Amino acid sequence: MCGIAGTYRWPDGKIVTDRLTDTLAHRGPDGSGRYGHPVGDGEVQLGHRRLSIIDLSETGAQPMAKDGLVLTYNGELYNAPELRAELESAGVRFRGTSDTEVLLEAWRRWGTDCLPRLRGMFAFGIFDERTGELVLVRDQLGIKPLFVLRRGEGLMFASELKALAGAAGGKLEVDHAALVASLLYYWVPDSRCAFREAEKLPPGSWLRCRPDGRVERGRFWNLKDVAAEGQERARAGERPDLAAVVEESTRQHLLSDVPVATFLSGGLDSSWLTALAARHQPGISAYTIGFRAEDARFEAMPDDLRYARQVAERFGVDLHEIEIAPNVLDLLPQMTYHLDEPIGDPAAINTFLICQAAREAGVKVMLSGMGADELFAGYRKHLANLLALRYQRVPRPLRRGLSAAVDRLPVATSRRGLRSVRFAKRFLSFADLPEETAFRRSYTMYDQDDLLALIDPDLAGTVDDVVTEHADIYQDNELDDFVNRMCLADARMFLPGLNLAYTDRSSMAASTEVRVPYVDVEVVKAAFTVPGDRKIAGRQGKAVLKEAATSILPREIVYRPKGLFSAPLRAWMSRDLAPLVREVVNDGELVRSGFLRRDALKRMVAEDAAGQQDFSKHLWHVLTLEYWYRDATSGSGQSTRQTA
C-alpha cells in the first residue's frame, strides 16, 4: 500500500510532483521515488511513497521502470501469483517477487484488457516512453482513491485530495454543491469533489493522456452490469457457495511478506473473517475497541467486547483491546485533515486509533469486515425499508396517531439515551415515502425541506440537483428485486463514498494498510446472485451470509444483535464538544460566510439538548465541515492543526 502522485505536461512538474509526494509521506514511510521523462513540449513526472508489504527488497521499489514502461502503483493484487505464472509461461522474465512487476508486465502484454482480470485493490499511473501516453486507473469497486486535477493541457494526480490542494499553485475553489451533498449524506459522494477543479476517477475506469493534449476515458467494469448478470444467474438456478467464496477471498487477502492482523468487533462479519484468517494463519492478532463505561451507558451501546473475547478464545487469536476515550477536541481537526473531504462518520476515529495501535505493535496490514452489510443487506435501513412497505398498509389514521405519539417521546434522559425511541423516530421519518425517496431518507441526514432551511437560500437549486442525482443513480438498474436494488445503490454510493473512503484515509494516516475481503470482485459477483428474500429472511438481515458462517462460527456470534462500529456521539456532544458546538453555531466560518443559517443551527442544538430529537450526528458533521472549510479557505491546502 502506498501513495502515488504525478504530473503530465504541468509547469514545473518536477517541483510539483515532489510537493505532492511529500504530502503523502504518511502513506509510505518505507521509501520514496520519482521518475521524469520528456513528453512533447513538456514532461511527465511520477512520484511514489512506499509502504513495503510484498517484496521488501529494492526490486519492489517504485516508480518501477522496465523496458520502456514506468509504473507508480498503490494497492495489492491478490491474484498476482496466478497472473505471474501465466506470464512466465509466455516467456516473461521477472526481476523480483512484487505484484508491482506483475501488474507492469500484465499491462505490457494485454494493455487495458488486463484490467478486468485484476483481483485486488488498486490505483495506478502507467507511462509508456514509446508513445508518451500516461494512463490512470482505479479498481473495480473504488477501494483505492485517485484524485485528478486538469488545467489546460496539464494534469496532476494523487492518492489524496490534500496533496492536489497543496500543490496546485494557489487556493482551489470550494465546490458548494459538494458541501451541500455532504450535509445530506454526511460524506461527499464519489461522483463529486470538494474542490471545483478536482475530480475522483470513477471506480472501474481509466483515463488516458496523450502528448497531443487529447484525453480519453474508458470503463472496464460496471457494477450495474454485474448486478444484472447476477440476477440472470439466479433465475437460471445458480446458488453460489458463499462459505467457499468468502474463505477463498480471505485466504487471498492474507498474501503478505509482513504480519497481518484483523479488526474484530465481535459481530458476524469481522468474526467470520478472523476465524477464517486464524484457520490459515494460526495465532493471528486481532484488535477490538471499547468505550468509557459512562459513555457506553449514556449511548446504550451493546457490549461488543464480550463477543470479541469469545471469538478470540475459540480460535486462538491474540486479542488486543483498545479503550477509546479520546481527546476529541484534538482528534477532530486531525481527522478532518486526514479525511481529505468533510466526512461526518466518527467511525473514522475508531479506525485510526486501532490502526495506530496495530502499527505501534509492528503490524502493517489489517483485514476488515467492511462491505458485507452493503452487499448482503445487513444494515437496519434495509430491513426498515422492507418493513415500511408493510407499514404503509396500516390505515392512515392509525399511522398519523402513532407518528404523533412517537414525536412527543424524548430520545434521551439526563442519564442515558433511548435507542428504541431514536430508531422509531427515524423509521417514521421515511416509512410513508415512495421507494427511492424512502431509501434515501433512511440513511441521509435531512429531508429536502430541512436541508433547504439550513443553508443559504441561493443554493436551493443545488439541493434539487443533489437529490435528483441520488434518484438517478438509484433508479439506474435492471433489477426487479427491492433488496438487491438497495444493495446495488449502497455498493455504488455508500460504500465508495463513505466507508471505503474513511477506511483508506484513516488507516493510511497511521501508515497501515486495510484490506477488505468482502469487497472483492468474486464476492460481489456471488452477492448479486443471491435473491433479496435470501438476504433478508423474516426480520433477519444478511440471512444467507449467516447461514454460511455457521459452518465455522457458533450461533451465539452469528445471530447476536447487530453491533455498532461507531462512537458515543451523544455523550461527546453533551460533554467534551458542547463548547465547540456553541462556538461554531455562533461564530463559525460557515455561518459567517452565509453557507449555513445560524437560526436553523440554534434550533437544532436546542432540540438536541432538550432530548426531544437526536441531532448528535448532524452536529458532529457540522463540526467536521467547519474544520474542513477553515482549512480549505485558508489557501494553504494544509491543516494548521495536523499532528503526526
Domain at 6, CATH number:
3.60.20.10
> According to the model, what pLDDT value does residue 637 have?
42
What number of other Cβ atoms are within 10 A of residue 303's Cβ?
11
Q: Which of 535, 566, 597 delimits the end of a domain?
A: 566
Residue 368 annotated in ligand binding: yes
289 and 306 in a single domain? The answer is yes
Distance (Å, rounded) from C-alpha 558 to C-alpha 459?
46
199 and 234 in a single domain? The answer is no
128 and 199 in a single domain? The answer is yes
- Does the pLDDT at position 385 exceed 50? yes
What's this model's pTM, rounded to 2 decimal places? Answer: 0.93
226 and 215 in a single domain? The answer is no
74: part of which helix (H) or strand (E)? strand 69-77
On whether residue 590 sits in a domain, the answer given is no
Residue whose entry in the numeric block shows the C-alpha cell 518501477? 64
Mean pLDDT in residue range 76-89: 97
Q: CA separation (Å) from 243 to 58, 246, 271, 523? A: 38, 5, 14, 10
Domain limits at 205? 2-221
Residue 99 annotated in ligand binding: yes
pLDDT band at 642 (very low <50, low <70, confident <90, very high): very low
163 and 233 in a single domain? The answer is no
Condensed to tens digits (0 to 9), the pLDDT of residues 463-484 reads 999 999 999 999 999 999 999 9
Condensed to tens digits (0 to 9), the pLDDT of residues 407-442 reads 778 776 655 556 677 778 888 888 899 999 999 999
- Does the pLDDT at position 640 exceed 60? no
465 and 538 in a single domain? The answer is yes
- % of the chain exceeding 90 in pLDDT: 76
On whether residue 604 sits in a domain, the answer given is no
> According to the model, what pLDDT value does residue 616 have?
87
Least confident among 56-65, 111-120, 170-179, 603-612: 603-612
On whether residue 622 sits in a domain, the answer given is no
| CATH number, domain with residue 278 | 3.40.50.620
Mean pLDDT in residue range 546-560: 95
Q: Which of 61, 9, 74 is nearest to 36 (CA)?
A: 9
182 and 213 in a single domain? The answer is yes
Least confident among 100-114, 239-253, 426-440: 426-440
Distance (Å, rounded) from C-alpha 93 to C-alpha 563?
49
Please list the active-site residues.
2
Condensed to tens digits (0 to 9), the pLDDT of residues 498-528 reads 999 999 999 999 999 999 999 999 999 999 9
> According to the model, what pLDDT value does residue 563 have?
64
> How much is the mean pLDDT over the chain?
91
Mean pLDDT in residue range 484-507: 97
Give the residue with greater pLDDT, 119 vs 323: 119
- Does the pLDDT at position 641 exceed 50? no
> According to the model, what pLDDT value does residue 365 have?
96
Domain tally, the chain: 2
Residue 111 annotated in ligand binding: no
Residue whose entry in the numeric block shows the C-alpha cell 416509512? 431
> According to the model, what pLDDT value does residue 294 have?
64
Give the residue with greater pLDDT, 368 vs 404: 368
Distance (Å, rounded) from C-alpha 415 to C-alpha 639?
36
> According to the model, what pLDDT value does residue 397 have?
85
On whether residue 594 sits in a domain, the answer given is no
133 and 23 in a single domain? The answer is yes
Mean pLDDT in residue range 187-195: 95
- Does the pLDDT at position 639 exceed 60? no
255 and 168 in a single domain? The answer is no
C-alpha cell read off for 405 = 405519539
Cβ–Cβ under 8 Å, residues 73 and 103: yes
pLDDT band at 94 (very low <50, low <70, confident <90, very high): very high
- Does the pLDDT at position 340 exceed 80? yes
DSSP calls for 255-324: --SS-EEEE--SSHHHHHHHHHHHHHSTT-EEEEEEE-HHHHHHHT---HHHHHHHHHHHHT-EEEEEEE
Mean pLDDT in residue range 339-367: 92
Distance (Å, rounded) from C-alpha 580 to C-alpha 585?
9
On whether residue 368 sits in a domain, the answer given is yes
Least confident among 116-130, 218-232, 269-283, 287-301: 287-301
pLDDT band at 1 (very low <50, low <70, confident <90, very high): low
Q: CA separation (Å) from 168 to 56, 200, 562, 574, 635? A: 33, 16, 44, 40, 10
345 and 453 in a single domain? The answer is yes
Mean pLDDT in residue range 353-369: 94
C-alpha cell read off for 558 = 452469528
SS (H, E, C) 20-65: HHHHCHHHCECEEEEEEEEECCEEEEEEEEECCCCCCCHHHCCCEE
- Does the pLDDT at position 187 exceed 70? yes
C-alpha cell read off for 328 = 476529541
> According to the model, what pLDDT value does residue 293 have?
66
Mean pLDDT in residue range 591-613: 91
Q: Which of 198, 221, 244 delimits the end of a domain?
A: 221
205 and 242 in a single domain? The answer is no
On whether residue 325 sits in a domain, the answer given is yes
170 and 308 in a single domain? The answer is no
Cβ–Cβ under 8 Å, residues 629 and 182: no
pLDDT band at 297 (very low <50, low <70, confident <90, very high): low
Cis peptide before 395 (omega within 30 of 0): no
Q: Which of 166, 200, 221 delimits the end of a domain?
A: 221
